[in-house]
Amino acid sequence: MISRRLTLTAIAAASFALPALAADPVHVGVSIPAATHSFMGGINYWANQAKKDLEKQHKGLKITIRTAANAPEQANQLQDLSSVSKINALVVFPFESAALTKPVAQVKAKGAYVTVVDRGLTDTSAQDAYVAGDNTAFGKIPAEYIAKKLGGKGNVVALRGIATTLDNERMDAFNAVLKNHPDIKMLDAKYANWNRDDAFKVTQDYLTRFKQIDAIWAADDDMAVGVLKAIDQAKRDDIKIVFGGAGAKGMVKTIMDGKDKRIDADVSYSPKFIYDAIKLTAEARLKGEKLPATTIIPSVLITKDNAKDFYHPDSPF
């Protein structure tokens, strides 16, 4: 009897300890667009920094990073991360919203915990958590600034990014502000894919079609570079404001130094949120916990008064 009790006690103790001993290592797959422009260069930099820091801090953690040049390539990489690399958590920055929704959902269906970053999916049931900058503020802040600087009257054109949920949020927020200023006319808004060369071409088209433009919402600091090049090449002096976005170090430095009167403000949207998303996801999964459904990182107006707080000369972005 005593022997039987000792055996049962040993079994019970072993059973109680089993979850800790048998817990699977956390393998996080990170799927992001390639560094096709400086913001994505920042995303790639911070993703790799997260891998370096977190794997060093947590022995039970493995992070595998894949970069894709387009949506189909990212979809294929997601399948490989799930089937070949056998990830049990995914942090994904979708190249496009609609095209990546089903591939992400398939990864989730195989049991992986999914955190979507920045560019949301068209079906939120395909994710467990969402981490992003404040895209509403990203559109609202520039519109309010432009409206004030123009005194509530003038012609505006806009450059959009890629067809994603976040681009829609930004554009909707921008337009919502302009509705309160009926004397500001939105002449056109076209996609320029967060790309300098595409922004240059779109702006050339605007400058050809519209003889008076008072402000250009570039909606991205990379696109603002292309916008400025087109304006300077056309020798147009009617554009009073070029407002980019995301707080690239070059634009922040321009604001700090007062080098270009057309650029005296920006809105923050740091690529470091990919680091935060990977860290939050990895550490939550190591504890067997979940993240809040949505985590939003605030965006704020950058002017000469606070530009030094957003200037990071050693960053790639």
Average pLDDT over residues 52-63: 96
Q: Are 66 and 90 in contact (CB under 8 A)?
A: no
**Does 21 have pLDDT greater than 50?**
no
H helices of 150-270, in order, are 165-178, 196-209, 221-234, 249-257
Average pLDDT over residues 108-136: 95
**What's the mean pLDDT when you consider all of the chain?**
91
Look at the block and give the residue holding tokens 């990830």: 87
What's the predicted TM-score (pTM) here? 0.74
Structure tokens at 179: 């509705």
Domains of the chain: 24-133+271-297 (3.40.50.2300), 135-267 (3.40.50.2300)
Phi, psi of 112 (to 5 degrees): -80, 145
**Does 163 have pLDDT greater than 50?**
yes
**Does 19 have pLDDT greater than 50?**
no
Average pLDDT over residues 37-58: 93
Average pLDDT over residues 194-203: 96
Please, which pLDDT band fits residue 23 given cuts at 50, 70 and 90?
low
pLDDT at 236: 98
pLDDT at 317: 85
Average pLDDT over residues 271-296: 95
How far is it, in rounded angstroms, from Cα 202 to Cα 232?
14
Average pLDDT over residues 276-290: 96
pLDDT at 229: 98
pLDDT at 13: 39
**pLDDT 10s digits, 205-252:** 999 999 999 999 999 999 999 999 999 999 999 999 999 999 999 999
Please state, in angstroms and as integers, the Cα–Cα distance from residue 144 to each residue in 190, 215, 310, following that order.
Answer: 20, 12, 20
Structure tokens at 159: 């450059």
Please give the torsion angle defined by the CA atoms of residues 27, 31, 36 and 40, in that order, rounded to the nearest 10 degrees: -70
Name the nearest CA neighbour of 134 among 302, 312, 295. Answer: 295
pLDDT at 11: 36
**Does 182 have pLDDT greater than 80?**
yes
Sorted by sequence, the CB contacts under 8 Å of residue 60 that are 6+ apart come out as 23, 25, 26, 286
